Chains A and B, each alone.
Chain A
Amino acid sequence: MTESLKVRVWRGTDRGTFAAYEVPRSESQTVLDVVTHIQRRIDPTLAYRFACRVGMCGSCAMSVNGIARWTCRTHVSHVAKNGAVEIAPLPNLPVIKDLVTDMREFFDKWSRAKGQFRGTKTRGDDFARIAPASAERIAADAGIECIGCAVCYASCDVVAWRPAFLGPAALNRAWTLVNDSRDVRQRDRLRAVAGDAGCHSCHTQGSCGERCPKHIEPTAGIAGLKRLAARAAIRGEL
């Protein structure tokens, strides 16, 4: 292990440059530790996001050596090449400053995909009965752990090529609700997630599932949405 790490960090907005810093290495150091050191000891003008720093919130997602990751869960020893690391903001999102991206379009697309649950039962009604081992519930359960960190969104080339594309996280969320028998917005939702802005633009590159820190596979849900949308279109229900 080299004594110090050569770090290149993106400074600026969508236009900017990489600035070089030297950071002392330590045992079990994470990339978030490195960014924190730079901001506290070297350059206080560096902007970055974090919260829990233990791999639960997803706020610290950044591009490390070109790959979107949670920096609090990325050990420097695993990613440093020749004692060097490159840190940049997540791609496919506008940059507010340095390592901080504007997440609004990511969450707007979640909303546009009808990613909100809507049921009809009130507190006066009996509980809904859902069989945990049913195919729908298993499919939904595979996707509900998403914390909206945008690593998948940042890793998807279709998001870069088609600005209107809803993206893997929003489509995964829609899939979990499509498989929720209590939800009553299914037709609107299917309409919202089909077509070129929705599931049909997914080319199964698989970067989303490859990079998701929670091992969710949006490709599975998107394949399911494709089938449902096609069936609805043929039946004239779309």
Chain B
Amino acid sequence: MSAKERFQARTAPEAWSAESGPVSDVRRQALLWYWQRVSAMVLALCVVVHLAGIIYAVRGGLTAAEILGRTRGNWAFGAFYAVFVVACAIHAPIGVANVIGETTVGRGSSALVIASVLGVAMLLMGLSAVYGLVAS
């Protein structure tokens, strides 16, 4: 390979994309950025409320009775934390995929696979936790 060909091989965008068609790839990446930022805005509000809540709740120790006493039948709590879980399940996987994509481990599509698994796991585990705390 000539020096020029080596440069192009090293820096060509196609070298790092597992998708076909650079244009659809770019649109997907722009949308992922967008949804990660939107979920970040939602999380900013949720996290402030959550931090205030746990600092309050953790005083004097924490028992299951205390937790469940506050959450059982509390649909407002359920709605708030369901939104929180969904936002996390969008926000965290996209961030993790970015980080993986920048390490030698994560070239190609493995970043998105790992991220999707994380997202689905968080969604299922989180929503079932919220359900368990509210409806049980």
Contact = CB atoms under 8 A, between A and B. Distances in A.
Instruction: Please say whether the chains A and B touch (CB closer than 8 A).
Output: yes
Interface of A: 94, 102, 104-105, 108-109, 158, 161-164, 191, 194-198, 200-201, 203, 226, 229-230, 232-234, 238
Contacts of A197: 13, 16
A164 B15 contact: yes
Contacts of B101: 162, 196
Interface string B1-38: 00110011011110111000011011101111110010
Q: How large is the interface on B (under 10, 10 to 19, 20 to 34, 35 or more residues)?
A: 20 to 34
9 contacts: A104-B7, A105-B7, A162-B102, A200-B29, A200-B33, A233-B30, A234-B34, A238-B26, A238-B30
Contact of B102 (A161, A198, A230): A161
A238 B34 CA distance: 13
Contacts of A94: 7
B31 A163 contact: no
A105 B10 CA distance: 10
Main secondary structure of the interface of A (DSSP, over half): helix
A233 B25 CA distance: 11
Contacts of A104: 4, 7
Nearest to B7: A105
B110 to A, nearest CB: 14
Contacts of A105: 7, 10-11
B23 A164 contact: no
B11 A195 contact: no
Contact of A194 (B10, B15, B26, B98): B26
A201 B30 CA distance: 10
A196 B29 contact: yes
Given A233-B27, A233-B34, A234-B31, A196 B7 contact: no
Contacts of B29: 194-196, 200
A233 B31 contact: yes
Q: A102, A194, A232: which has the most chain B beta carbons within 10 Å?
A: A194
A162 B34 contact: no
A73 B102 CA distance: 34
Contacts of A194: 26-27, 29-30
